[in-house]
Each structure stands twice: as C-alpha cells, then as structure tokens.
Structure 1
Amino acid sequence: MKSTLLLTAALAVFSIQAQAQTTATAAAPRVAADQIPTKKGPLTVQPITHGSVVFTWNGKTIYVDPYGGAEAYAGLAAPDVILITDIHGDHLDPKTLAGLPVGKALMVVPKAVAEKLPAEYKPQVRILSNGQRLDTLGMTVSAIPMYNLPEAADAPHTKGRGNGYVLGLGGKNVYLSGDTEDIPEMRALKGIDVAFVCMNLPYTMDVNQAAQGVLAFKPSIVYPYHYRGQNGLSDVAAFKKTVNAANKKIDVRLRNWYPTAK
C-alpha cells in the first residue's frame, strides 16, 4: 500500500513538472516590458515581434498588429482594443487572431483591412480612415497616413490604404508608424512622447531616412521596430548613433523584437 502511494505521488509530481515544462515551451521568449508614467498610471510597453506590441494602460490592454502565432501572447491579458495598420500578413494575421481571446475586443482598422477580416469579426470592427479620430475607453485613437515615397500606384504601401496611429493615453501621445517612409505627415507630428518607427528595406525606409524623420518630429522616446527586411535585420545601433549625434535628448530605446531569430 505504501509503495503504491509513493508511486502515485511520484507520478503526480512528474505530471505537474511535465505540464509546467510544456507551458514554458509553448510561450515564446519575450524581452522585458518597459513602463512609462502617464497621468492615469503607468503605460506598460511589451515588445512582441516585428511590428507587434502590446500596451497595458489604465486597466486596458491594447494589441497592435497581432502576428507571429498566438503563443507569442501567452500569459498576457486578453485585448480590449486591437489596432491593425495594413493588409499585409505581418500586420493582418487571421491565423494569429484565431488563436487569441479576441471576442470582446474592439478592432480599429482601415477600410482595406476591414474588407479582408473574417466575417466573424465584423461586429467588432470600427473603421478609421486617415485623419479620423476615435475616443474610446478613456483613450483617443487618431489614424495617420502611412505610405511609400515616391507615391505610385504599384508601391508596396499606397497613400490612404493603411493607418499609422497616434494614441492619447493619460496625457501621453504614442505614435505607431506602421509601414511608411519619412513622409511629410510624420515629419509634421507635434508633441509625440513615445514613437515606434519602422526601418526595413525594400518595404519602408532605411536607417538614415528613419533617423532624419525622427529628428524632424522629435519624440521624447523612440523605439525602432519593424526592422527585419529582405537582407536581415537593419542596423538599429546605427540609427541610435545618428539620432543622438544630432539630438541627445531623444531617448532611443533598443529592444530585441526578434528574440527567436537565429
């Protein structure tokens, strides 16, 4: 009887350990989150991968361009708001959405994205076009142009199709560039506290373009993100060096957006 109890206990411990190991394996590695103070408590910035980031603020969770598989979001709160910038698969990823608890989330998207979302999400969708603003859940969401230069009908990103976003969160303005070059609308931004700026060729802009755009609108903090291109990862250290050589006040935060990259 005693040996049976010992065997049962040992099997239980093994089962718990195996479950824990499986859970740890399923969750993709993530870099540590940052916290930025606002008038309504901290804004938590959790890099996920490429152009994907999760914000937690004032009891709400915001997913930006959820992509790369649902396991990348393991352990994070279900989203209250989902922002999608464009129709490309590294921004609009139905497979990842299908694996996430998105049933109660408001989806803020451009029209082109709304037309490609699975029908089950239609009741949750709010379409914003460039220049439009939405006030919801104590925050503001403004849609900003994102496009390639020179403008052309066959460009990877045409003007008006996708959205960058500026979020108003407790007195802080957070800019998400989406896929863009250093367009006049980006350079003209004012009062940006935190910026997420892309830099990957041939789809968006190179490191120097991104740096010059940032130096034009002068965010307090900038995160280079979306920096994997056809030839690998862009030189974000060179971006930081270029920005800070011209303006030491801009806090360039380098984070690993590709923790599983070989």
Structure 2
Amino acid sequence: MTLTKTIRLSLFVSCFAAFIGNASAQLSTPDTIKTGKGPLVIQPVEHASVVLTVDKAVIYVDPAGNKDLFKGLAAPDYILITDIHGDHFDSTAIGKLKTANTKLIVPPAVADKLPAAYKPSVIVLKNFGVTTQGAITINAIPMYNLPETAESRHPKGRGNGYIITVGGVRVYLSGDTQGIPEMRNLRNINVAFVCMNQPYTMDVTEAASAVLSFKPKIVYPYHYRGAKGLSDVDAFKEKVDAGKRNIEVRLRNWYPKL
C-alpha cells in the first residue's frame, strides 16, 4: 500500500470513528402526536427523562443525570419531578436547565428539598392535585410499590405520577410504581410512559399486564434500567401485542452513550 493510500485509509477510519462517536451521543428521533392545540413533540432523553413540547410550551419531566443530553433542546417552561430519588430529582441539573421563568411542578417531598431561592417558582401537587397552565392541565396521581410496607422504596403519597392533558390528548407518566389500581383504572390515555425495572418497580410481565388493563393508544416503555441491567423491552412488546388490545408499543433508546 502506498503512503498516500495509507494516509487516506487512516483519515477514513478516523472520520468514521468520529461519526460513530457522535451518532452514539444522539438522542432518539422525536415523535409527533396530533392534538387540538397543535403537534405534541415527544423527545426521549434518558431513563426517566423526557421532553414534551406543545402549544409553544416546553415541559421537562425528571431531568436528571447527564445534562449534556439536553444541549440543543429548548429551555423548559415547566419542569415536572416525580420523586426524591436521584434518577428523578437532580437539583444540580435543575439549576443548570431552568430559566428565571421556569415553573417547577413537584410533590411535597421534593419541594422540601429544593433551594429556598426556587420557592417562588414552585407549584406543589399532592396525589390527586391538579394545576392548569394555559391550555395544559396537569393531574398528579399516586405512584408506589406493592405490597405497601414500611421498607418500601416508594411509599404511597410521597411521589407523583402525572397526567398531562392538552388539546384533547392525555399523556400519562408513571414515575416509579407498580401496577397499582390507580394505574389499572386509568381511562382514555392516548400516550403512556411506563416504568419496568427490578427490584425498584415492575417487572416486564407486571408492566404489560397493567398496560393491557388501562389500554393506552400508545405506550413507551421507559425507566427500564434495573439492578441487573436493562429490562427486556422486546418481551414487553410481545406480551402487549399478544393481548390484542390495539396498543402501539414504541421502543426507543432511553440510554444514549456519550
């Protein structure tokens, strides 16, 4: 091989490696859902973190972990936090991502841990609380472990799942929970984000059973990194598909590498 060809090959390998490196850092392509208030854009970020954009409002849910993953995304008008654990509540990330106009919507346990300087922008919702922000309504619903014991990682009443309603579309975010009655009894959910990671929340079988109970039109398995690695979301999809409830399971990459 001539020196010129060797140099060209080296440059190609270097460029290809750089491309692969950049590609691995990319987030999943956002999805778009039609609503009566215009498109709802869904951007998976990482683990429990997702960004929703609709009616000119940008909603960050549980922005935690690698803050670089949010680069290039519009700043949040609202930040929703589900619980106190570090994969949901990251005070450092909130401080870097929020603006002076960002409103924080949180359960009381999270509000107690926020810096005093944030208090004017905080909306505290207990389970079954509700707030309306412009065209967007946000309902807080329970999330907890079963059976309910004193040792539970997620006791009933501490954290919130959320239902976001806008333009006739209802979006459910489970937070850390099991297949509780409050989830199974949900109705008219267009889009659901459902956790599945052991030993913290549901396994794949329980998550599929819960989803088949409340029958969202679209479901995203998210928050599926457990103590022994990633849950088998393909198996989850197979179980939901086998239930023949016309539920679209969307598998996305919630664990981009930087």
CA contact (8 A) 1:186 1:213 kept: yes
1:222 is displaced (CA, Å) by 0.1
Q: What's 1:235 paired with?
A: 232
| 1:205 maps to 2:202 | yes
Match of 1:68 in 2: 65
Letter in 1 for 2:203: D
Is 2:105 aligned against 1:116? no
Q: CA deviation at 1:137?
A: 2.1
Counterpart CA distance in 2 for 1:156 and 1:102 is 31
Aligned counterpart, 1:184: 181
Tell me, in whole angstroms, the C-alpha distance in 1 between the residues paired with 2:206 and 2:113: 31
Whether 1:244 aligns to 2:244 is no
Q: CA deviation at 1:118?
A: 1.7
Q: State the match for 2:252 in structure 1.
A: 255
Kindly, what percent of the aligned residue pairs are identical?
58
Give the equivalent residue in structure 2 for 1:9: none
After TM superposition, give the deviation of residue 247 of structure 1 in Å.
1.9
Q: TM-score, with normalisation over the residues of structure 1?
A: 0.88
Q: Deviations over 1:146-168 (max 9, x none)?
A: 00000012200000000000000
Give, as a single letter, the amino acid of the residue that structure 2 aligns with 1:260.
K
Take 1:203 and 1:140, find their aligned partners in 2: how far apart are those partners? 29
Count of paired positions:
238
* Matched residue, 2:43: 46
- 1:5-44 aligned within 5 A: 28-44=25-41
Asked whether the equivalents of residues 215 and 245 of structure 2 are also in contact (C-alpha less than 8 Å), the reply is no
SS in 1 for 2:35: coil
User: What is the rounded CA distance, in whole Å, between the counterparts of 1:223 and 1:117 in structure 2?
Assistant: 29
Give the aligned residue type for 1:200.
N
The answer as to 2:101 corresponding to 1:131 is: no
Q: Which residue of 2 is the match for residue 4 of structure 1?
A: none
CA RMSD of aligned residues (A): 1.6
Tell me the secondary structure at the aligned position of residue 113 of structure 1: helix
Question: What is the distance in 2 between the residues matched to 1:214 and 1:50?
Answer: 19
The superposition leaves residues 184-219 of structure 1 with CA deviations (integer Å, 9 ceiling, x where unpaired) of 000000100000000000000100000000000000
Contact 2:195–2:207 (CA under 8 A) maintained in structure 1: yes
Name which of 89, 99, 102 aligns with 2:99. 102
Unaligned runs of 5+ in 1: 1-20
Is structure 2 residue 161 aligned with structure 1 residue 172? no
Residue number among 69, 78, 81 corresponding to 1:81 in the alignment:
78
Q: 1:58 — aligned with what?
A: 55
Offset of 1:111 from its aligned partner? 0.1
Matching residue of 1:3 = none
Q: Distance in 1 between matches of 2:225 and 2:116?
A: 31
Q: Whole-Å Cα distance in 2 between the matches of residues 135 and 250 of structure 1?
A: 28
Structure 2 counterpart SS, 1:212: helix
Structure 1 counterpart of 2:213: 216
Shift of 1:28: 4.4
One-letter code of the match for 2:254?
W
Deviation at 1:122, TM superposition (A): 1.1
Q: TM-score, normalised by structure 2?
A: 0.89
Letter in 2 for 1:35: T
8 Å CA contact retained: 2:212, 2:245: no
**1:17 paired residue number:** none
Structure 2 runs not aligned, ≥5 long: 1-17
In the alignment, what sits opposite 1:195?
Answer: 192
1-structure distance, mates of 2:201, 2:159: 13
SS of structure 2 residue aligned to 1:45: strand
Q: Deviations over 1:44-65 (max 9, x none)?
A: 0000000000001011100000
Q: What is the identity, as a one-letter code, of the residue corresponding to 2:184? A: R
How far apart, CA to CA, are the structure 2 residues paired with 1:197 and 1:101? Answer: 25
